Amino acid sequence: MHPYEGDANPSPMLGNLAGSVRSRARVSGPAVRRGWLENGPGPSDRRGADEFVSVSWDELTELLSRELRRVVDAHGNNAIFGGSYGWASAGRFHHAQSQVHRFESAGWIHQVSSQLLARCHRCHHAACGRNALEVVRALHVVDVIAKHSDLLVSFGGVPIKNTGVNAGGTSDHPTRGALDAFRARGGKIVSFSPLRDDVEGDCEWIAPVPGTDVAIMLALAFVLASEDLHDRDFLGRFCVGYERFEDYLLGRSDGVQKDPRWAQKISGVSAEFITDLARRMASGRTLVTVTWSLQRIKHGEQAPWMGVTLAAMLGQFGLPGGGFGHGYGSMNEPGLAGAVSLADLLARCESGVGFHSGSRDFRPAAFARGGVRLRRPTPDLSRHPVGLLGRWQSVSPPSGSPEAATGIFASGHDRRSRSVLDADGPQRRHRCPSTTSLERNDLSCTRNDPLLVAMQQVVPPFENSRDDYDTFAALASALGFGEQFTEGRSSQEWIEHLYGQWRPFVDADGGNTPTFEDFWAEGHYRMRTEDNLVLFGDFRENPEKYPLSTPSGKIEIFSETIESFGYDDCAGHPRWYEPDEWLGGPRASQFPLHLIANQPKTRLHSQLDHGAASQASKIQGREPIRMHPMQRPRAASRQETWCGCSTIAERALLV
């Protein structure tokens, strides 16, 4: 494996890829759980422990088509959950969601949002009128930060290691270089994180009690308000609800001032430092950033919402290098310039062509991390047996799904449902064997990368694995809509067709794209990018002409919509909620170690652990942990002990 020659900071995880092609973890052929094969569909406590029986592809197709037809005839389309996590294959044609959505009917139950960004989707939509992905794709690009920011205050740091990956592939990793340029110009970074290496290079590292970021942000806001350092003109013209929030902040509504001494007792960060930092933030161009990891806990929506509020009080929304940023260092997408990408046209091949009856229902996707509150009701799946939980997930490392089966198995319905299908590549056992991106042709591109890449097959498919498209085509044929699904095209013909749809779209915008034959021979094409992006720049320039998609058209520090839900654990404005499990809670006296389940440097979550780069990080073949060297008496500090463990997810808060 060799990095792209134009990559400023290649990912070390490339060293894992060669070992994945013929890994012993790969499944050699399709298989069915013995209990299902012998006894038919139905709930079973054997699931997860039962052995699997090898079958042919024709046998599997017959079993699947018969079960799908039975479920639809007996219960209707909304007895089927057809979903796929959003990462999947780097290729745009073999992208798992595209294949699933094209196959499925509009009546299947589908997911909304994901474990990755579920809470900040809700937060950003309520506060800014945009979902999290829309915010990510419009963030200040890292070059703008390097040129214009004076102070970067980051909650969760800007971990360079996470920028090694991006869904759909990535050709350049510019964040490290941009931060170096930012420092060279005199910029300063303050990193609030339990881990020093969440920012590489020079920074002011503050290690608070994990999970107390919102309390620190409130105290910073208190200093701005109490010392009249906040931008009243900006709050009045561009925001609504600040007065309601200020009543809470200054203690007028609950009798508790959220001042730096209050935050010090909670977070362990000195009141003097918080006060000084707030004054520094108000004195120059400041960008407040929050990593995605902070929203992956109960009350996780509060951190990004409070980050928006703090940035609004500084009045720098829409200014180059100022305001708010979400997700820098969470993956190699936030802060990269957007491109006119083939991904923008994929909806044309995603519309369902399968069974048609009823309307689509939705279920939240973030079961595993506390769930997500939705305005619309979700279907009560316990009222009738879920006929089939279909989850096709063809993983193409290093941009594959972190935990492909989490959404199913954490939901609690896997043992009550009648059937579960999970198609996967080399990272999962006991699945339908799918090819990886090295074993098939495809197109690679993302909305935040300039290269459209011809992903040409490198090696033949492993054993009896096959492309997801061929699996769906065979299943569609067995169900009677094969021609409608394939439109008479092979995989390669679909790739050429998608390129043909994309090419005139770009040419009409001033491009000069090659023919497919020339593109395939060259191997890649550099697309036009949207450089110098500034988040909410148009809104700041003219809020009447470019209003936000909130009820007020403005930044909603207080949301009447959220307040109307009547939640006892989510008010209409950001506030501090004590975590259920943390070093300041009652259980910490008995369990004083706080686990920080941090994203590893050498792989994506648990994927590619068998690769050379990941194996080189082991100690005697086992995963290392890092433990804080200080064991202080409880009376001396609330911040006595924490443990950093490189395992499954970023900063999951567990005791």
In 249-291, beta strands by DSSP E: 286-290
Q: Which residues pair with residue 326 across a beta bridge?
A: 290
Integer Cα distance of 287 and 326 in angstroms: 10
Indicate the Cα dihedral angle 583, 587, 593, 597, nearest 10°: -80
Q: Is 132 helix (H, G, I), strand (E, B) or coil?
A: helix
Residue 255 burial (10 A CB sphere; 0-12, 13-18, 19+): exposed
The amino acid at 456: Q
Find all residues with CB under 8 Å of 424, minimum gap 6, and list them. 27, 393, 394, 395, 404, 431, 432, 433, 434
The closest alpha carbon to 535, from 114, 180, 148, belongs to 148
> What phi and psi values does residue 8 have, to the nearest 5 degrees?
-75, -25
Pairing of the two strands 362-364 and 110-112: parallel
Q: Characterise 266 by phi-psi region: left (phi > 0), alpha (psi -120 to 50), beta (else).
A: alpha
Q: Is 323 helix (H, G, I), strand (E, B) or coil?
A: strand
Instruction: Give me the catalytic one of 4, 36, 85, 469.
Output: 85
Provide the CB-side half-sphere exposure for 85 (13 A, CA): 28
Q: Is 498 helix (H, G, I), strand (E, B) or coil?
A: helix
Question: Is 87 in the active site?
Answer: yes
Alpha carbon separation from 468 to 104, 249, 306 (Å, rounded): 14, 53, 42
The 10 Å CB-count burial string (b at 16+, else e) for 471-498 is bbbbbbebbebbeebbeeeebeebbbbb
Question: Is 85 in the active site?
Answer: yes
- The answer to whether the beta carbons of residues 85 and 401 sit under 8 Å apart is yes
Q: Alpha helices of 370-467 — where are they, by DSSP H?
A: 406-409
What is the helix, strand, coil percentage profile of the chain, to 5?
Answer: 35, 15, 50
- The answer to whether the beta carbons of residues 174 and 180 sit under 8 Å apart is no
- The answer to whether the beta carbons of residues 141 and 334 sit under 8 Å apart is no
Integer Cα distance of 370 and 366 in angstroms: 7
Integer Cα distance of 418 and 41 in angstroms: 5
Q: DSSP secondary-structure letter at 43?
A: -
Q: Which residues pair with residue 363 across a beta bridge?
A: 111
Integer Cα distance of 451 and 442 in angstroms: 14
Instruction: Give me the catalytic one of 87, 242, 248, 642.
Output: 87
* Residues catalogued as catalytic: 85, 87
